[in-house]
Amino acid sequence: MKDPRTAASVASCLDDEGFINAGPTLQLPALSNVFAGGDICTKARFGGGERMAGYAHGHAFLICENIERLAGTKSGPLQAMHHGIPTGTEGETDNEYVFISLGKTDTLLYAKWPVMKMFFQTPDAMEEKYGPIEEAPDGWVELGDLNPVKFQQWNDMFIGALGEGRDEWWAQFDAPRLYDAP
């Protein structure tokens, strides 16, 4: 998004890689009434710097929350959101989970986030091999046929939640991640 022809006002909102330098509240640096979410945001807005849909829905939730607070339809300070698993090094996180498709059926599932435990096919074997998911230094890793999860369970779950406008369903994942913006 950034080259020598880019207007200075726009360039000032972009990081060195050309992504939008949205702050923790997802506001643009110079335009506090403009928000950015999803892959277009700078790396720091993603767990482990990995641009994923799994974080984009959190961005959408956060932006809605902050628009309401700016508009005064909700009270309280603007919110920021935790993404990723803290590594112990200041400002650094690991990714929470990744699905990597390998061929027609196999999928590698990596996760450090306890919410993802339900998607492992052999959770007992994982616990024995790596220890509790929240304590395993490199998370749990399982290779298996996850097509029913990817192409049925998740679709039904997301289409149902979006189609029926079940905001509270989304809130169970995203609301606990919010904190008052610094």
Ligand X SMILES: Cc1cc2nc3c(=O)[nH]c(=O)nc-3n(C[C@H](O)[C@H](O)[C@H](O)COP(=O)(O)OP(=O)(O)OC[C@H]3O[C@@H](n4cnc5c(N)ncnc54)[C@H](O)[C@@H]3O)c2cc1C
Binding site for ligand X (CB under 6 A): 38-39, 51-54, 56, 99
Q: How far apart are CA 13 and CA 101, in angstroms?
A: 35
Q: Report the residue closest to ligand X, judged by CB.
A: 38
Q: How far is the CB of 71 from ligand X (least distance, A)?
A: 23
Instruction: Give 99 or 169: the residue with its C-beta nearer to ligand X.
Output: 99
Q: How far is the CB of 158 from ligand X (least distance, A)?
A: 11
Q: How far is the CB of 120 from ligand X (least distance, A)?
A: 15
Show the tokens assigned to 125.
């074997």
Q: How far is the CB of 20 from ligand X (least distance, A)?
A: 11
Instruction: Give 51 or 69: the residue with its C-beta nearer to ligand X.
Output: 51
Q: How far is the CB of 51 from ligand X (least distance, A)?
A: 5
Residue 114: name the closest of 95, 99, 129, 134 by CA: 134
Instruction: Give 52 or 62: the residue with its C-beta nearer to ligand X.
Output: 52
